[in-house]
Structures are given as C-alpha cells and as structure tokens.
Amino acid sequence: MSSSDLAIAVRGVSKSYTIAHNAPNHTTAAEALIHRLRHPLERPAKETFWALKEIDFEVKKGEVVGVIGRNGAGKSTLLKLLSRITEPTTGIIELYGRLGSLLEVGTGFHPELTGRENVYLNGSILGMSRKEIERQFDAIVAFAGVEQFLDTPVKRYSSGMYVRLAFAVAAHLNPEILIVDEVLAVGDAEFQKKCLGAMKDVANSGRTVLFVSHQMQAINSLCSSGIYLDKGRIGYMGDVQTTIQHYMSVRQTQQLATEEIKRPGTGEFRFTGFTTDKGTYLSTDDIHLDMEITCFGQTQPGYFISLEIQNTHGLPVLHLDSRLLNQEYTRTELRRLHLTIRETRLAQGDYRITGVICSTGGVIDRLEGGAEITIAPILPYPTRRNDCAGYAAYYPDFEIEEGPNEETTPRLLVENSAS
Amino acid sequence: MEKTAPTTIKPLVTIRPSTGWAALNLREIWQFKDLLLTLAGRDVKLRYRQTAIGVVWVVLQPLISAIIITFVFSKIANIPSPGTFPYFVFAYAGLLGWQAFSSTLSKASTCLVGNSQLVSKVFFPRLVLPISTVFSTLIDFGVALVVMFALMVWNHVVPTLAILTLPIWLLLILMVAMGVGMLAAAMMVSYRDVQYILPVVISFLQWGSPVGYSVSYVVAKLAPQYHPLYMLNPLSSLFEGLRWSLLGSTAPVPAWGWVGYAVLCAVGVFVWGAFGFKKMERKFADVI
C-alpha cells in the first residue's frame, strides 16, 4: 500500500477526561449552600478517565469503515477527535483530504428560522460553501419532500418533516472523508430506507467513510471493514463480518441487586438471576437463559413464569409461558430454571427479554428488560444479501422448488381497441 | 488497514495535542467566511422575528435611553448642555458609542454558551462565533447613526472634519468590547458565574464612563488627584472622542494624551482577548 492511498492515519491517540465525584448528594439548593458554607475548601474528588487509550489505525482512500462497540467504548470520542471538535491528549491524527462530519442530525437548526434559511444555516455549519448549498438546494428540498413548507418556520414543522429536512442537508455533504455517527435512526421506516440508500450512494461513490452505528444491519450492508472498540481500546480490526462477530461474542451480563427491589408485583418471589449465555446470537442459534428465583414472602404457595421477548419498539414478538408446558412451580427457598429457545429465527435487531412471575392471584414479580440480546445481521440463508430480507420480523426456514417447467412462447398483449 | 512505512505525502490536516499559546490562524477563519456570514445573518434575522414593530426597536432603544439620561442629568441634576445643542442630542451621541460597546460585549460573551450545541457537535474555528456577533451591532449602529444625523440637522449642528475620525473611534470601542467579550466567553465555558458578574460590570461602566455626561463635567466636580483614576478607564476617552467626532468643535475635545493611552489599551485588550480565547479554545467542547 503506497502512502498516497491513505485517507486517515491515527497514531497512538489517547484521550482522557477528568471526572469529578461529588460525594454529597443534595436535593435542594439550600442544602447544597449550607454544605458549601460548612466545608468551604472541600474539593470534589477527581479521577482521570481514559475514553480512548493508544489507538492506532489507518484507513485507505475509498474504504468504508464501521466503528462498533458498546455504549461508552469510545466511539463518539474517536469521531469527535477526528472531526477536530476536541483535541487528543496524546498522539497524532493525520487526515489526507477534506473531512466533513455528521455527529448529529440538524445541528444548529433554529426553530424560528424558515426551512429555506435553515438549509443555508445548517449547510454552512456542516462546512458547505454558499455556492455549494445553492447548487444542491433543489436536490436537498426534493429529498426531504418539504417543498410547500420552505418559507414556514421549522418550529411549525412536524417532527418527521424537521428530521427529514435535517438529514437531507447532511446527505448532500460532499467531503472526501465523511464521518457519520448514528444518524440513521431517524424518521419512519420509509425514510430510514431512503437514508440508508443515501448512505449507500455515499459509500459507493469512492469516498472514505467512517460510520458509527448500533444497527449491525446497517454496518454490515454499508461497510467493507470494521473497527471494534472495547473500553477505549481497539478490540478487533478487520473485515466487517469478523468484526461484528467479535462484537457479538462478548457476553452481556446483568447484575440484579437483591436488596432494594422496586419492581412491580407483590414480591413474594423475585428474580435474583436472569442471564443469557451470550449477548448476540445468530438467527439460528439456541438461546439459553438462566433464571434464579428467590422466595421473599410467606404465604404464596406457588407460581408459574412467563417470558416476553420484545423488539426495540416494545412489541412482544415471542411469548413463552411455563403453563404452555404444563409447568407450575411450588414454593421453594431458591429455584434455578434453565430455559432453552431453539432456533428463534428472529430477524436481526435488538431484543429485550422480560420475565414475569405470576400466580392465579396476579403478578408477583415483573423484571422489565431483564436481559438484552442482539440478533446478528447474518442471514441464515446461503446468501449474504441483506437487502433481500427487507423488514421481515422472522427469517423462516423456507425453500422454493421448481415444478415441471414448460417453455412458453412470447404472447402478444391483446389490446382492447375500438377501431 | 495494515501498517505502512512513514508517509511521504503531506497530510492536509494534522491533529495533535497543543500546549501553550497558539497562532490565531486567520487563514482558517477566512475559509469559514460563509459560516461567519450565515451566523451573522441568523442573528440579525432572529432579533426582531415575531415582534410587532420589528426594526423600529433599533431606533427606539437608544431614543428611550437618551430620554432617560436627559431627564436624570439635565432635568434633575441640572447639568448644562456642553454645547449649543440640547442635552438630548449630546446624550444620544454618547449612547451611540455606549450601545455599540455594550451590545458587542454582551453578545460576544454569551456566544459560546449560547451556541453550545454547535461547539460540541461541529468543528469550525471558534473565533468565528464572537466575530459573527459584530455584524448585528454594526447594523444597529448604522441605523442609530442615521437618526443621529437627523437630530443634528434638526438642531442645526454642522459636523466638522472631525467626523472623518468616527470609524476609528468606533473601531477602538469595538476592539475593547471584543477583547473583553472573547475572554468572558472563554471563561463562561467553565464558570457560568461570568454570566452573572458581567451585567453588573456593564451597568457599572455605563455610569462610570462619560455616556450621559462629559469628561469636563467630571473634571470640574472631581478632586484633581482622582482625574487619572477616572481616565484609566480607556472607554472614557473613546466615548468622549466618538461624541466629539460627531458634534465637532462645540463638544468637549478629548485629552490627546489619554487618547493615546486608550488606543494602546484597545489594541492590547483585543490581542489579549483573541489569544486568550484561542488558548482556552481546545477545551471548550469537553467542558461546555
């Protein structure tokens, strides 16, 4: 690889923040003031937190790189460093080309200004020149579909229109290196599709793109390579599929505090353990869930359990009730249950598992979103063409067989003509 | 994405941690001139949107202030007009400089906190923000100046050649305002206290500078040992000078020694403000 292919070089970059720990927790201003007067010299304890540590990577021209990682892994910090919003604590970043960044949709939009004025304002904030905006103006407006409301202040826009206009400006940004942070999660499904299409055009136009998203499907279909950030360090770097697999192999655990449970239900039994064996699954994987139920009350003789798997919109897609298996449980001090769901065939996305302990008398414990899982965007089919799967909720096992075929001769359409 | 040998092509941008004082990088600001103008345009457009009489406020604000000042100084305190014109014209001329100063200072000082969304989400040379606030001040000044000329014609005040120095006085006043404003803006990022201190400072300066009265009046009333103390405020000479440039020979002539001092102060404060702002700039996005 010759040096002229380089678009971004990041060498030994770290970024630290100082966080202050405010020990006393005051609920009123008066309380805080009294505390201040009593201890005038008290300084909050400070701690250095490394958001990014010793990051090294290079991006070639025309490469589309997906940056993935859990919340707090340092993705946004990395993008902020690259777009020069904040400075690295150590290290050097070299950019070989004009960089435009899109960390938020509609930055600088002003509610009092009209749609037209906001296009100019937002465009120039994102680094477009006035001429560039003028040239692209019609395309931007057409993309957003707000032609009639151009001279209306955007405070009168519906939130959908607002977001569409904001994204439309961003989609017409034309830098050599583009940095995008989680901006596809806007608008309705129809518009999201359009946004994804716009991003695909950008990715295919030979520009260098760094793309952060939690939507693995978007990462998978847009990016050629990936960087997996884990607690401020590079966990893996390579082709996008392997990067996603690294990301998903990290087991997600959730600690359930036994004391101070403020959950709905009568509380005679509580979930004290609720753990899946992995954080991310393939559609065809079995999901294993370990539950621990502890008895806290005296009177309840027994219970059954009911589990709901909800998608990101909160819609339950699977409902698993122990009564369906003729299972009800008697009172014990501590009960461990192991649930297996075979081949969910769920479509890619994030899901929450909610556990409910019930009796005929009502809800005993409801653990909302006790576990969160992700179904990876890897299709259980022989192809990797994500675009064919659309927005289906399930990936069923199906086949198409060809029957006895007959050659057809082209037929002319019979026109219904009066003459 | 494997490692390569050290590159031979120079990168367009190199990002590294900076320390100490930094250059202002005026060329970069020039590259962002479209943003500068758009932001300035936004401020102007927003000022009087959803107001009933809109731009009339630009005229009304200094007129009402001039009426109050005339009432306090001329009618209650019985200070005589220092020229052949009514006290009202004198007060209005003083307010021209004052309004330019106070509006620049208060707008520049809040430019970062008021645009925190931009600062934390987009890159651009941060100096663009305080600079963009000047434009709406200039427009206000222009409108108020037209009213000033009307007042002069009405009262038969003939301007002298001194009027040619008007832009210089204005520039110096704006430099002081911008210098203090940029420092205040940068400090306000970490300490919102500045937000509360500044209005007090501004109102102190309004009454402590020769806005509603002339320096000669202070000289007459104040013991001589306090005169230098009064003139240490560079605004004293600058406001006096701006008024002199408009009302000519009939207005008090500024003391030129103190004017020289004020010029040095204006340039010094401006340079200090700009570099101080630039030095603190790098932590804006982290702290704001």
With respect to residue B130, please indicate whether it lies within any of the assigned structural domains: yes
Assembly ipTM: 0.80
A108–B282 CB contact, under 8 Å:
no
Computed from CA positions of residues A62, A105, A111, A161, in that sequence, does the dihedral angle turn out positive or negative? Answer: positive
Which of B4, B49, B285 is the closest to A86 by Cβ?
Answer: B285
Give the largest CA-CA distance in chain A.
102
Check whether A183 has a pLDDT greater than 70. Answer: no
Contact list in A for residue B285 (CB cut-off 8 A) is 80, 85-86
Residues A78, A52 contacting (CB under 8 angstroms)? yes
pLDDT tens digit string along A68-82?
Answer: 887 778 888 899 999
pLDDT tens digit string along A248-281?
Answer: 766 554 445 444 456 778 888 888 888 888 888 8
As to burial, measured by CB atoms within 10 angstroms (0-12 exposed, 13-18 middle, 19+ buried), residue B148 is buried
Among residues B260, B207, B32, the alpha carbon closest in space to that of A125 is found at B32
Specify whether the backbone of B124 is left (phi greater than 0), alpha (psi in -120 to 50) or beta: beta
Q: What is the mean pLDDT of chain A?
A: 82
Residues B177, B257 contacting (CB under 8 angstroms)? no
Q: Which amino acid is at A174?
A: N
Among residues A124, A85, A163, A112, the alpha carbon closest in space to that of B43 is found at A112
For the residues A132-147, what does the mean pLDDT come to? Answer: 89
Place of tokens 């026109």: A415
CA A95 to chain B, closest CA, distance in angstroms equals: 5
A350: its two tokens: 């994030």
d(CA B154, CA B142): 19
Nearest CA in chain B to A119: B38
Buried b (16+ CB within 10 A) or exposed e, A234-256: bbbbeebbebbbbbbeeeeeeeb
- pLDDT category of residue A414 using cuts at 50, 70 and 90: low
Contact list in B for residue A107 (CB cut-off 8 A) is 117-118, 121-122
Q: How many CB atoms lie within 10 A of CB A25?
A: 7
Which of B1, B122, B286 is the closest to A237 by Cβ?
Answer: B1
What is the span of the domain harbouring residue B135? 53-287
Measured in degrees and rounded to the nearest 5, phi and psi for residue A327 equal -115, 120
DSSP-derived letter for residue B283 is G
Hey, is B102 helix, strand or coil?
Answer: helix
Q: What is the pTM of this model?
A: 0.73
Hey, is A138 helix, strand or coil?
Answer: helix
With respect to residue B154, please indicate whether it lies within any of the assigned structural domains: yes
A107–B1 CB contact, under 8 Å:
no
Distance between first and last Cα of chain A: 70
Q: Tell me the percentage of chain A whose pLDDT exceeds 90.
A: 17
The 8 Å CB, 24+ separation contacts for A186-195 are: A186/A105, A187/A160, A187/A163, A188/A160, A189/A391, A191/A160, A191/A163, A191/A164, A191/A167, A194/A143, A195/A167, A195/A171
Q: Transcribe A33-86 into DSSP letters.
A: HHHHHHSTT---EEEEEEEEEEEEEEEETT-EEEEE--TTSSHHHHHHHHTTSS
Place of tokens 């925190």: B116
Buried b (16+ CB within 10 A) or exposed e, B9-19: eebeeebeeee
B83: its two tokens: 């020229």
Nearest CA in chain A to B115: A108
Check whether A152 has a pLDDT greater than 70. Answer: yes
pLDDT of B146: 93
A window 58-117, beta carbon within 8 A of B? 58-60, 63, 65, 80-99, 101, 103-104, 107-108, 110, 112-113, 117
A312: its two tokens: 């990101």
DSSP-derived letter for residue A5 is G
Contact list in B for residue A94 (CB cut-off 8 A) is 7, 11, 13-15
Chain B contact present for A4, CB below 8 A: yes
With respect to residue B162, please indicate whether it lies within any of the assigned structural domains: yes
pLDDT of B3: 46
CA B145 to chain A, closest CA, distance in angstroms equals: 28
d(CA A109, CA A213): 23
CA A151 to chain B, closest CA, distance in angstroms equals: 14
What is the residue-level pLDDT of chain B in tens, covering all 288 positions? 444 445 467 788 888 887 777 777 888 888 888 899 999 998 888 887 777 777 788 888 889 999 999 999 888 888 888 777 889 999 999 999 999 999 999 999 999 999 988 888 888 889 999 999 999 899 999 999 999 999 999 988 888 888 999 999 999 999 999 999 999 999 998 888 888 999 999 999 998 899 988 888 888 888 888 888 888 899 999 999 999 899 875 556 667 888 999 999 999 999 999 999 998 888 888 877
- pLDDT category of residue A282 using cuts at 50, 70 and 90: confident
With respect to residue B208, please indicate whether it lies within any of the assigned structural domains: yes
With respect to residue B34, please indicate whether it lies within any of the assigned structural domains: no
pLDDT of A169: 87
With respect to residue B22, please indicate whether it lies within any of the assigned structural domains: no
Residues B98, B141 contacting (CB under 8 angstroms)? no
Check whether A145 has a pLDDT greater than 60. Answer: yes
Contact list in A for residue B14 (CB cut-off 8 A) is 92-95
With respect to residue B251, please indicate whether it lies within any of the assigned structural domains: yes
Place of tokens 């353990």: A273
pLDDT tens digit string along A347-405?
Answer: 888 888 989 999 888 888 888 888 888 888 778 887 766 667 666 788 888 889 888 88
pLDDT of B249: 58
Among residues A336, A294, A344, A337, the alpha carbon closest in space to that of A319 is found at A344
A92–B121 CB contact, under 8 Å:
no
With respect to residue B44, please indicate whether it lies within any of the assigned structural domains: no
Provide CB contacts within 8 A for A413, sequence distance 6+.
Answer: none
pLDDT of A272: 86
Domain count, chain B: 1
Hey, is A95 helix, strand or coil?
Answer: strand
Q: Show the domains of chain A with their CATH numbers.
A: 269-375 (2.60.40.2550)
B12–A98 CB contact, under 8 Å:
yes
Provide CB contacts within 8 A for A189, sequence distance 6+.
Answer: A391
